[in-house]
Amino acid sequence: MSTEIVRISRLGAQGDGIAQTDTGPLYAPFALPGETVALAVNKNHGTLISLREASLERVEPKCRHFGPDGLNGTCGGCSLQHASDALYHAFKHNLVIDALKSKGLTPEVAPLVIAHPGERRRVVFTARLTEKGLLLGYNQAASHHIVTIEECPIASPGIVSRLAIIRKIAAAMASTSDPFRITVLETETGLDLAFEGLKLSDRQRRSTVEAVLGERGIARVSLNSEIVIEPVKPVIDFGGVAVSPPPGAFMQATRPAEEAMAKLVIDHVGKAKRVADLFAGIGTFALRVARIARVHAVEGEDKALKALDFAARNTQGLKPVTVEKRDLFRRPMMAQELKVFDAVVFDPPRAGAEAQCHELARSGVKKIAAVSCNPTTLARDLSILVASGYRITSVTPIDQFLWSAHVETVATLEKG
């Protein structure tokens, strides 16, 4: 390991500062463009030792857990609290532009739909029982060290105000010093706590039930997708449709981002009479679109699909919703199957929807709305559609993972 003084030229895709050196790019977390920094260098990675010249875009972090003066942030929940809003928003916007350019796509990209503190309704904590008590917080970046938190500016007030209760329940469930994960989802009826990585004895189960019954604001506690206690069903509202998600179900991290994405999708679908929603999850888009069109929802996860189906069948005022359990990675909907639809919505995991897009390209469906959490795979998927004659009509980046390097995008396309 050596010490080097370098000048940072730009931000990389993960939010690290990048310095160009004679041996190639050098990556420096928590450094900003225009800064001269002293780094402890190991191969192509640098740890920030000191700022020799700070950027005017460097700001005071919003959270004391982030790290002293924004240097070498300790809490792994955020990576860009030290950047000004202008720099941060431009970074997210450019992530999408650069990914599209890499595939030869140059559509106009709308301004970033920004995120605000306190909006995250879904967070994932790491916890571990020690001799001194329970640690609950986020893993430090590139480390198994848990930074215990007492506040969290990205999380909703409903989650932050119940950190002590979450610790109490986690302590009741833990029996060894092995780390475990807790996915916390704020629902309309209370917090939904999904634990992973634990084994629960009968005694611990009783302790957990007692801990929950003594507190308000907890809707459900589950372990490895099995319900431990459910005082009240957790409920999520999708445009007036109440859905009870299964334990640990995927949810958009913030409600404002979800509503922004849904509006873009619905506005694009327009007057379509039949819509296919692929990778439908628990119905984030399908149940909203069903207000205006018949929907066929396709999803590979059985419990998510059942939650969607139950909500659709028990909500008045919706157009017919049909469901299909199908692994769209292994068995995408074929072009011939897709021809009956006026519009298609797809929202795949980070891996994207390459196989499905090849079939969409051959289908001739008039309108497509693509939702993605990964600009790189989105660009690849859009290039497949554009090569077959689709035209990109809009691209909108949406921030819901505040002060991170992740960005959502909604792209709309039309045939011809």
Question: What is residue 69's predicted lDDT score, i.e. its pLDDT?
Answer: 54
Measured in degrees and rounded to the nearest 5, phi and psi for residue 181 equal -110, 145
252 assigned binding-site residue: yes
- The residue that leads in pLDDT, 143 or 131, is 131
Pairwise CA distance, residues 273 & 290, whole Å: 10
CATH 3.30.420.40 applies to domain 2-58: no
- Give me the mean pLDDT over the 186-213 stretch: 93
Q: Are 265 and 291 in contact (CB under 8 A)?
A: no
Whether residue 72 has pLDDT greater than 70: no
Q: How much is the pTM?
A: 0.94
Sequence spans of domains, the chain: 2-58, 91-116+251-415, 122-235
* pLDDT tens per residue across span 87-141: 999 999 999 999 999 999 999 999 999 999 999 999 999 999 999 899 999 988 7
Lowest mean pLDDT among 27-31, 72-76, 168-172, 263-267: 72-76
Neighbours of 291 (CB within 10 A): 15
For every residue of 212-229, DSSP letters joined together read HHTSSSEEEEEETTEEEE
Q: Which of 63, 75, 78, 373 is catalytic?
A: 373
Does the annotation flag 279 for ligand binding?
yes
CATH class of 91-116+251-415: alpha beta
Q: Which fold has domain 122-235?
A: OB fold (Dihydrolipoamide Acetyltransferase, E2P) (2.40.50)
85 is in an annotated binding site: no
Question: Is 373 an annotated catalytic residue?
Answer: yes
**What SS3 class is residue 7?**
strand
User: Does 122-235 match 2-58 at the fold level?
Assistant: yes
Could you tell me the pLDDT band of residue 188, with boundaries at 50, 70 and 90?
A: very high
195 is in an annotated binding site: no
